[in-house]
Structure formats: structure tokens, C-alpha cells
Amino acid sequence: MTAPFAERRFAAFLFDMDGTILSSIAAAERVWTAWAERYGLDVQTFLPTIHGVRAVETIRNLALPGVDAEAEAAALTLAEIADVAGIDAIAGTAAFLGALPPDRWAIVTSAPRVLALRRVEAAGLPMPATLITADDVTHGKPAPDCFLLAAERLGQPIAECLVFEDTPAGIAAAEAAGASVMVVTAMHHRPLETRHPRIADYAALRVTPAETGALLLSDL
């Protein structure tokens, strides 16, 4: 099988975190389930809405009377920092990230910085020189701000960047930014309708930096 985008040269790779380079869904859903039950929400209906967006925006969208979204999001972050059981790297991620030049990739996540640092460490993954988190933008995914900021800090045109994402909100943000998109399906329980190429994980994917610094994808 030919790797998606095998003929393309990219200036940089931008990676979502949860569900894209590491599996933290079980940990996140444990914390959010307890929170949802405290507020009498239907857990099964609510949980799908938490992925890929900032916690404060998830809470604001509920419009719960008397609830301070900022305070609740901060409390949830502390709970998620304390619960990293079962957080693991998605297959092949460590080797794939380790092969990238430090100035050519970034993690772009809807998690707060302290939580992102904790989860990347828990998964045993390399820490990027460029990390864009919920703390760095006013408008989170599906707004394009986070990906545009990552490209700016890397000094690369967003149109020449490839975004690795797993959620509809993240995919929409990458599209709005003008980047190419690769959908990672490792944590998908159901097929996601998308026009973009997909990979299950990084185990069979190789990256080769060109002499110009451009990144080339190929199969192992």
C-alpha cells in the first residue's frame, strides 16, 4: 500500500494530541463521567461532545445555570492531571516523532498546557519544541487559530503543513486554516465520514527529511 501523500513534500507536521498521538480517552472519560453525573447529565449523550475541543467551551455550551465554566474547567484539568492510568502512545508514534527535525513539527492540542505536558510524559513521547495548547488561543477548535499559530511559530506556511487529527472539530480547524489533513483512526469506534486520507497508526509509516528540510512520507 502506498502511504497517503507519498508524492507530497511538507514544510512541517502538526499533531493533535489526544486520540492522535496518544490514547487518553479512557482517562478523560473517567473524569468527565464523574463531572457529568454530578450535574445530572446523560453521560452517554454528553461524552462524545468533550473530544477535540477546549473544556471551558464544552462547559459553556451546556449553559448550565449558576456554573462558572472557567472554574469548572480548571477543576477538571486538575482531576485529569491526577488520572493518567492507561495513557499510552499510539502504535509507532514515538519512532515517527523521533525521526522528525525538532523545528519541523508541533503538537496542537485543546488541552491546557499543564495537562498536555503530563500526558505526553505519561505516554513516553518526545516533547516538541513547539507546543500549542488551549492556553495559547482565544478561540479553540474548530476555529483555525491554533494551527495558524503553530505554523507561524515554526516559521512555515500553513498551506505547506500536514495536520494529523482524529476528531471532527480538529479536522474542521485544520481545513479552515488551509492545511492538508491526515485522519488518525486508532481510537475510532465507528468510521468517521471524511474526504481526507486515513491511517490507523504510525507503525507502517516512515518520514524522510529532504535536503531542503521538507518532509516526505513513505511506507516502511
User: Kind and range of the H or E element at 115?
Assistant: helix 113-123
Task: In whole angstroms, give the CA distance from residue 71 to residue 76.
Answer: 9
Task: Respond yes or no: is residue 18 known to be catalytic.
Answer: yes
Residue whose C-alpha cell reads 524522510 in the numeric block: 208
Which tens digits make up the pLDDT trace of 43-72?
Answer: 999 998 888 888 999 999 999 999 999 999
How confident is the chain (220 residues) per 10-residue block, as mean pLDDT? 78 96 90 95 93 89 94 94 93 96 96 95 96 96 97 98 95 97 88 88 92 86
- E-strand ranges in the chain read 9-10, 12-15, 22-23, 88-89, 105-108, 130-132, 161-165, 180-184, 198-199, 205-209, 215-219
pLDDT at 219: 82
Q: Check 18, 83, 145, 166 and give the catalytic one.
A: 18
Q: Among residues 16, 83, 145, 166, which one is catalytic?
A: 16
* Cα→Cα distances 55→72, 170, 215, Å: 9, 14, 33
CA–CA dist 141, 54 (Å, integer): 8
Say how far apart CA 184 and CA 182 lie, in whole Å.
Answer: 6
pLDDT value for 72: 96
Q: What is the pLDDT of residue 39?
A: 95
Q: Determine the pLDDT at residue 1.
A: 47
pLDDT the model gives residue 2:
63
Query: Is 83 among the catalytic positions?
Result: no
C-alpha cell at 23: 490514547
Alpha-carbon distance of 131 to 139, in angstroms, equals 16
Cα separation values, 208 from 92, 103, 104, 110, Å: 15, 14, 12, 28
pLDDT at site 123: 96
